[in-house]
Structure 1
Amino acid sequence: MKLHILLAERRMQQKELAELTNISKNTIGAYCNDTAKHIVKDHLDKICNVLNCDITDLIEYTKDTEGES
Structure 2
Amino acid sequence: MSKQKKQDQPKESTYTRADLAKHSKQAFGVSPEVVIGALSTSKQEEFTKSEAKQAIDNFMKRKV
Same fold (TM over 0.5): no
> Which structure: greater helix fraction?
1
Structure with the greater alpha carbon radius of gyration: 2
TM range (shorter): 0.3 to 0.5
